[in-house]
Structure formats: C-alpha cells, structure tokens
Amino acid sequence: MRITYIGHAGLFIESDYGSILCDPWFNPAYLYSWFPFPANDHLNKDKFISPDFLYVSHLHLDHFDVEFLRTLNKDVTVLVPEFKSKNYLNAFRELGFKNFEITENSRPLKLSADLEIFISALTSPTDGPLGDSLIGISDGKNKVLNQNDSRPTKFDQINSFGPYDLQFLQFSGAIWYPMVYRIPELAKERLSRQKRSNQLNRALQYIKEIHAKQVIPFAGPPCFLDEELFYLNDIETSESSSNIFPDSKVFVEFLESNGYTNSRVVYPGTQIILEGNSIEYLDPDLNQNDLNWAYSNKNLYLRNYQRRYLDRINSEKRSWDELGKTFDLLESSRKLFEPLLEKAFFTKAGINGRILISSDNQSVVIDFLESKVEKFENQVCRYQFYISNSVLAATFNLHSGDWVNLLFLSCRFEAQRDGPYNEYVYSFFKSLSTDNMEYVEKYYSTESKISEEIICGDYIIQRYCPHLQADLSKFGEIKDGVITCMLHGWQFEVATGKCLTSNDRKLRTRKLDKQMDHQQSDS
C-alpha cells in the first residue's frame, strides 16, 4: 500500500487492488478564511483526478472541495457513509457523480479482491453538517484508520477491523470559540489554553483506544492568510500558547512528552509505503515553495504564502462589498428563518429566547418565543452575533443551508451570549433548510434515554455523557466533585448533575446506597 499525503485531511491511497482518494482540499474555504497548512498548491493534481474510489468523510468545506471535485472523473465510485439525511448524496449528484457504493454503518465491505473497507458514520445534528464519518482500509497486508475529524465514542467495531499500522487523526482546532467572543482578553486566553489542552488530550485518548503502530496527525490546522484574520495563526507554537490551532509538530512533541514516540510530521507530497511490517516515509523536496520553513520559521512561511493569495482574497472581498450595497437584512432574514421557525418545535424549546444578528447599519432579532423575525428595538437577546454587512450579504447570497459550515468557521464575526453554550443554537444554524430542520427535529424528538450507569465516588451516574453520548467510564475524569468528559471538555457536578458547560443538559446522578451496594457485592 502506498499513501500520498495531499494536505490537511487529504490522502491518496494506492494498492494492487484499487485506489481511494480521501478528502481532497486545495481551494480557500469558509469565505476565503481557511487555507491548507502547509500549502499543497505545489502538488500535481492530475495524479488524483481519476481514482477508482472517492471517499469524503463529511461535507465541511475543508473536506468537500467543490471546485476541485468538479475536475474529477465522474465515473469514479463514491463511497457513501450511512448518513440519515439526504444532504451527502444530493451534494455529489449535483456535481455530476453517478456511481455510488452505499455502505452499511461499521460493516466491512470488499471493494475488490483484497481491498476492504469499513465506514463508521456519526449522525447527531452536531456531527459535521448533519453527519461525519471515519474509514478503515485494508489491502490484505496492511490496515489504515483514517479518522479525520470524527469523534467516535465507541471502539469495539473500529478495533475489530484492526489492528492498524497507521492512524490518521485530527488534533487541532476546527472551531471559532473562544476567539470571536466579546469577553475580556485574559478570560479569552484562559479559555483558549483550556481548549488547546482539551484538543490535544482528546486526540491522545483516541490513540490510547486504537493502539495503531504509528500515528499521523493531520486534518488541521488551517492557516489564515487574510490580514484581518492572520492573528489566528499559531505563530508562537510554544507549550504556553493560548492559540487553538497548534500544528503537527506541536502535537508530535506533546505525544513525546507523554511517552509516545510513534508519531511523525508529514508534508503535502510525503509518500508512506506500507509493506507488511515495514513503514517507509519519502518526504518531498522541502525546499520547494519554502516548505522547509513551514515549521522552522512559520511567520516567514505564512507571509510568503500570503503574498501568493492576497490579490485573490481582496478581489473576493470587494465582490462582497458590492453585494452589501443593496442588502436588506430584515427581508432576507424573514425569508430564510421564519419558515424554519414554524417547524422547529424542539429547537425553539431548547433555545427559549432571542438571537440578535447585527451588522454595520442593520439589526434583526430571531425570536424563538414568538416564532418570528423582527427589527431590533432593544429587545433582550440572550445570543448576539455581530457581522459586517458585506459578510452577511455574501453569506445570504450563497444560499447555504448550514451557516456553521460557512460563516461561523470563517471566524468573520463576533459573538456574545448571556449564559453558557447552548447546543440548540448551534444545531439551528446548521439546519437552515426544510429537510435539515425536519431531520434535526426528528432526532431531538426520538433521542433515547440511556439507562446504563456507573459508580463515581459516592454517586451513581449515567454512563454516557448527555452531550454526545461519550462513554464516561472511558473518557470521564473526576476532580473536586466535577466530572469532565475529555472528548469535548463538558463538565458536570457529580452530586447534582448540573452541567457547568451548557444550560440545556443535565447528568443523571443519585447518591450511592453503600449498604445496598455492599449486599449486592456479597451476593
């Protein structure tokens, strides 16, 4: 098996029994905010346009690169995760793809003589744009786990396909929190350090669960070349940095400090050759396009990279300014949001308040109490978004059904909220189409109550985290009466079940009857 790393979460996997192209990303994403790091524009893309199979883990724009996918041979077979919504299939059909292999969730599938895969789909409203996935690949001699951005909470089926020679996984930030929030800088730095630590430790936990021979950090970080966003790059890269976008070198050093020496930095163009027990790495010419500076002199590298794209970025932003001249926020918001509010019974109950969207000279309120959109006239708004008129105009103009997968990940806004994070707000902005909203509402209406419990000190608590059902027996860490789910950093008071991260979740907990527990142990 030969694997060419093509940047970010992109892999081109070749075997004697067929080739698989995974998550190719070459073009700017999220309103020209994200760019691949290190740059991959030196690669010859012609090598990747006619694979036997195409796998895209989910529809986030740093994985689903529409501009590049349009250039692919449309006879390729698309490997389709078992998502519950139609978004994924529809997106590929709109691009002209016509051959699909519909997989069954976590069930191995032979693609050819000795080329076998399994795809595990995650389907909660907070996974990707209503879905995320991972893929295991075997050529009969070697096995690879491409975990990319996915955050599985159960591992029996994943490990049953192994053991794995290589595990590719995300470790860096793919979020806008807390950078865009209007909070004091010291608090923002503290929250950012906590976020950075949680990301690194979560990835470490996955490594402990999978036990692959070698680990390749990938699927991040992006880099930010627009001068307005350049501050988001982790230039410092030291252990004390409060940046949530650490790079692969930082993660490899973090693993080494925790006793793991089986990880390695790869570059766009690096080839990994697997042959039985042998793993060989062939790096590209690191002098090409200043690639040798990507980690050794990051600021210089990014400034050189920026110069290649600055004209393109500025041209795009000028087009937004033109759209903004005639943009009517109230009319556009009513047209988009009010039909969805009529269908969003559980979402409205979860938000139970108002959202302010404010631009340079226009402000509207999405009222989840009265199911309407109206002009802002000093109503109390628990959640507030501040976005320039031109960026709002561009966002509405693109008719996206998922603002998370466009506007929010761009970091081209500011936010403020009264109280903790609310998952229903997040899900609402991911579901800005009739089909997506119906999917989210169905999910919330049928969400099962997990009955399994574990003992936690003097208490019995539910085994699975109320956030995204992570197994707290594996991912729960307890300190000072608070249990932290290490997958996403959510915290709960053990004694009361109160969620310290969000006001829309609670942990089921009860005092342990030690006498009864002792009697049960004796029996």
Q: What is the pLDDT of residues 131-157, one digit of tens each?
A: 899 999 999 999 999 999 999 989 999
Looking at residue 393, what is its pLDDT?
98
Looking at residue 521, what is its pLDDT?
38
pLDDT in tens, 227-252: 999 999 999 877 678 999 999 999 99
CA R_g for the chain: 23
What type of residue sits at position 509? T
Looking at residue 522, what is its pLDDT?
38
Average pLDDT over all residues of the chain: 92
Element (DSSP H or E) covering residue 4: strand 2-7
How far out from the chain centre does Cα 93 lie? 23
- Kindly report the CA angle at 90 between 56 and 54, in degrees rounded to 5? 25
Which two tokens mark 376?
A: 């802002």
Pairing of strands 363-367, 354-358: antiparallel
Are 369 and 385 contacting, i.e. CB atoms less than 8 angstroms apart? no
Give the DSSP letter string of 217-282.
E-S--EE--STTTGGGS--S-STT---S---HHHHHHHHHHTT---B----TT-EEEEETTEEEEE
The model carries a pTM of 0.87
E runs forming strands in 339-413: 354-358, 363-367, 372-375, 383-386
CA 153 → CA 200, 427, 475, distances in Å? 17, 20, 9
Which two tokens mark 167?
A: 């595990």
What type of residue sits at position 433? S
Are 481 and 495 contacting, i.e. CB atoms less than 8 angstroms apart? yes
Residue with tokens 């994403």: 29
Pick out the chain residues at pLDDT < 50: 448-450, 515-523
Looking at residue 514, what is its pLDDT?
55
Are 103 and 77 contacting, i.e. CB atoms less than 8 angstroms apart? no
Looking at residue 397, what is its pLDDT?
97
Q: Interhelix angle for 329-341 vs 389-397, to 10°? A: 50
Q: What is the rounded distance in angstroms from the CA atom of residue 463 to the CA atom of residue 492?
A: 13
Residue with tokens 């899900």: 427
Looking at residue 449, what is its pLDDT?
41
Pairing of strands 383-386, 354-358: parallel
Q: What is the rounded distance in angstroms from the CA atom of residue 266 to the CA atom of residue 118?
A: 25
Task: Please say whether the dihedral angle defined by the alpha carbons of residues 285, 286, 287 and 291, taken in this order, is positive or negative.
Answer: positive
- 4 beta partners: 12, 271
Residue whose C-alpha is closest to residue 394's, from 32, 74, 81: 32
CA 94 → CA 62, 90, 299, distances in Å? 18, 6, 39
Judged on CB neighbours under 10 Å (0-12, 13-18, 19+), 250 is buried
Q: What is the rounded distance in angstroms from the CA atom of residue 382 to the CA atom of residue 375?
A: 16
Domains for the chain: give ranges and CATH numbers: 2-308 (3.60.15.10), 329-445 (3.30.1050), 453-522 (2.102.10.10)
Which two tokens mark 138?
A: 């075997």
Name the phi and psi angles at 298, rounded to 5.
Answer: -65, -40
Which long-range contacts (C-beta less than 8 Å, at least 24 apart) are formed by 368-373? 368/341, 368/344, 371/338, 371/341, 371/342, 372/338, 372/341, 373/330, 373/333, 373/334, 373/337, 373/338, 373/341
Q: What is the rounded distance in angstroms from the CA atom of residue 81 to the CA atom of residue 398?
A: 26
Element (DSSP H or E) covering residue 117: strand 116-122
Looking at residue 447, what is its pLDDT?
61
Side-chain half-sphere of 333: how many Cα atoms within 13 Å? 22
Tell whether omega for the bond before 178 is within 30 degrees of 0, i.e. cis.
Answer: yes
